[in-house]
A and B are shown apart, each in its own frame.
Chain A
Amino acid sequence: MYILGIGCYYHDSSAALLKDGKIVAAAQEERFSRKKHDTSFPINSIKYCLKSQNITIKDIKYIGFYEKPFLKFERVLSQHLQMFPLSFKTFLSSMPSWINEKLRVVRRIKKELKYKGDIFFIEHHLSHAAGSFLISPFEKAAILTIDGVGEWATTTYGIGKGNNINLTNEIRFPNSIGLVYSAITAYLGFSVNNSEYKVMGLSSYGNMNKDTNEYYKRLKKVIYLKEDGSYKSDMDYFIYHYANKMPSKKLCKLLDGPIRNPNEEITKRHKDIAAALQLLTEEVITKILNYMHKTIKCDNLILSGGVALNSVYNGKILRNTPFKRIWIQPDPGDGGTSIGAASYIYHSILRNKRNFILKDAYLGPEYSTKEIKNFLGKNNIKYSEFKNERELLEKTAKLIYENRVVGWFQGRMEWGPRALGARSILSNPCNHKMKEILNLKVKHREKFRPFAPVVCEDDALKYFDCDIPIPEPTDFMLMVYPIKKKWHKIIPAVTHIDGSGRLQTIKKSQNHLYYNLIKQFGKLSGIPILINTSFNIRGEPIVCTPNDAYKCMMGTGIDYLVINKFLIKREDNPKDKWDSERYAND
């Protein structure tokens, strides 16, 4: 039985396909449309899902949609009714999409896909919860979902047992720690629903001491926090319930200045505000988790929703709360809800036993050797071919060791916002200049942002102060841990200002080629760690096809592309060079 899950029309549209309860394909629409955080109907992702199994829409038994659109519309309408006449501008800008798309989901699905079967609508936070719990290794777990907002809920918690999920409590809009995080992100001059992770990275540069960070004390005024972790936002500081902007004038006054212009220099004040926000967020979630553990009495924790992408905090959870194990799916944000909607139908509504644990994130499209060879030949691209896997590993590791920047395109594309060794840019973490080289040649991103390390799981504890046993979400680059002090100077390119690293651990069973490459690099350098950053042009989604990968290499300063068993050198193909920075938009 095939079940298709769909999530769209807010941000990060996606589709996921289940076959007898097992996820066989999943991808975000942005990878195909090349629009970052694409919100549109995920027609390309759906086509990919169907093609991957050689099936048609007639083979789909059920479709699950990731929220209840009318409930969400009720909330939107309530905002306009409450805030009349201040909400006039947002009413004009948001209503056309509600009328043309969001309230016509059934019509769109049936028309676009020519689908005649049943469509189920699963509440937004239930989709988040199901998307993590039902594919986790836990038979029983406490579940916490936190995001900006779903229909009405912004934070929920409950319990998952077998194939049942019961979300028992919620915090409702406009109170939302996710929206507070986004509002301060906007205040700091970064884009909402896109750059929250930048604020998280910036926080390490600020004052992380609660006693001495003045802005932490001030930000405490915007959230009333109870001992049980429940909270409410002081809406005098925000205008997101009726305007397109998020911070109010009162918030600007509280934080000593106007909203930062994106081109403005980042000062100590901005860094301290980012740190204060991170401290406040951690305090709220810690209180919720402690309370949950007390009431639910279960040591396993499932975390979901966009806030679960806060890897800095994720790495502290097991140390700061009584929970013993944690699991987060590779895409806990809205992108992941398509998996949740489909899984909930199969396991909870149809009451089928759970039979699947997500062990790796390789759920996207892949391209055969023949397809890639055809692409290279058709475009007159100069390349060489590795004789065997050994040569591929030795030569690639050597290139990285010699400080070359290598594009790595192998197998099925990753599911979720992180590059995990299928569509990655790899380089040498031991070179203290590598951060600058990567920024100059390829990424062109803010100087304060760290690069992430990837390490084989069996080596992780030697270099990182991880929880023991190492939590599975590190496989999906969702936990930040301190790097052991003696290695700070050995791997400077992946050591953040506070001595931490957002590591990815990799097991041989997940991706043997990637695993062996890291080991091979270890043989050359003595350090089995690589820099792993996403394979994309600034402002664009991660590459999906061989054409995307080649275009990215030729538009940036990536030196080599290792694609399947082929090696392409940028310098050998001067005819295709271009400057991606001229078109970058982030």
Chain B
Amino acid sequence: MKRIKQFFTGFKEGLKDFGGNISIVVNTILLSFVYLIGVGLTSIIAKIFKKRFLQLKESKRESYWKSLNLKKKKMEEYYRQF
């Protein structure tokens, strides 16, 4: 009885690992596709139109401080995740 139980526990663990490995492969394929098509195309189009998503080469300015004005807002604003 103990051996049967051990067998099924091991079998379950093995299946779990196998499932984990499959999900890593599927995730990698899907995410690669999203990256190449979604991110890649958007990035290329953005570069053509000279759109910058990050200010990596900021021009020389008097000050690098940016206005933030982060203060109390309406209560509804805090329900938002953005």
Question: What is the interface of chain A, defined by CB distance below 8 A to chain B?
Answer: 68-71, 74, 77-85, 88, 91-92, 95-96, 105-106, 118-123, 125-126, 153, 156, 158, 164-175, 224, 226, 228, 230-232, 235, 241, 345, 348-349
Interface size class on chain B is 35 or more
Contacting residue for B81 out of A77, A84, A121, CB 8 A: A121
C-alpha spacing A297/B54, complex, angstroms: 33
Closest to A175 in B: B64
C-alpha spacing A218/B52, complex, angstroms: 29
C-alpha spacing A158/B70, complex, angstroms: 9
25 A-B contact pairs sorted by A residue (CB < 8 Å): A68-B81, A70-B82, A77-B39, A78-B53, A79-B54, A82-B52, A84-B40, A84-B43, A88-B32, A91-B31, A92-B28, A96-B31, A106-B81, A118-B79, A121-B79, A126-B70, A156-B70, A158-B68, A165-B72, A166-B71, A167-B69, A170-B68, A171-B66, A175-B64, A235-B57
Question: Quick one: given A78-B53, A84-B43, are A169 and B66 in contact (CB under 8 Å)?
Answer: yes
Question: What is the interface of chain B, defined by CB distance below 8 A to chain A?
Answer: 27-28, 31-32, 34-35, 39-40, 42-44, 46, 52-58, 60, 62-72, 75, 78-82
A175 contact set on B, CB distance < 8 A: 58, 64
C-alpha spacing A393/B70, complex, angstroms: 50
B39 contact set on A, CB distance < 8 A: 77, 80-81, 84, 91
C-alpha spacing A95/B42, complex, angstroms: 17
Contacting residue for A349 out of B27, B31, B53, B72, CB 8 A: B72
**9 nearest CB pairs, A to B:** A70-B82, A230-B64, A84-B43, A78-B53, A166-B71, A120-B78, A167-B70, A82-B53, A170-B68
B28 contact set on A, CB distance < 8 A: 92
Contact A81 B53 (CB under 8 A): yes
C-alpha spacing A83/B57, complex, angstroms: 13
Q: How far is the CB of B6 from chain A (nearest CB, A)?
A: 26
Contact A172 B71 (CB under 8 A): no
A95 contact set on B, CB distance < 8 A: 31, 34
Question: Quick one: given A168-B69, A230-B63, are A122 and B78 in contact (CB under 8 Å)?
Answer: yes
C-alpha spacing A167/B53, complex, angstroms: 24
Closest to A226 in B: B63
Closest to B30 in A: A95
Contact A74 B56 (CB under 8 A): no
B54 contact set on A, CB distance < 8 A: 78-79, 82-83, 173-174, 241
Contact B43 A169 (CB under 8 A): no
Contacting residue for B64 out of A77, A79, A118, A226, CB 8 A: A226
A71 contact set on B, CB distance < 8 A: 81-82
C-alpha spacing A118/B76, complex, angstroms: 11
Contact A80 B81 (CB under 8 A): no
Question: Quick one: given A70-B82, A118-B79, are A167 and B56 in contact (CB under 8 Å)?
Answer: no
Q: How far is the CB of A338 from chain B (nearest CB, A)?
A: 16
Contact B31 A92 (CB under 8 A): yes
Contact B66 A85 (CB under 8 A): no
Q: How far is the CB of B17 from chain A (nearest CB, A)?
A: 17
Contact B70 A123 (CB under 8 A): yes
C-alpha spacing A174/B52, complex, angstroms: 13
Question: Quick one: given A91-B39, A174-B54, are A169 and B81 in contact (CB under 8 Å)?
Answer: no
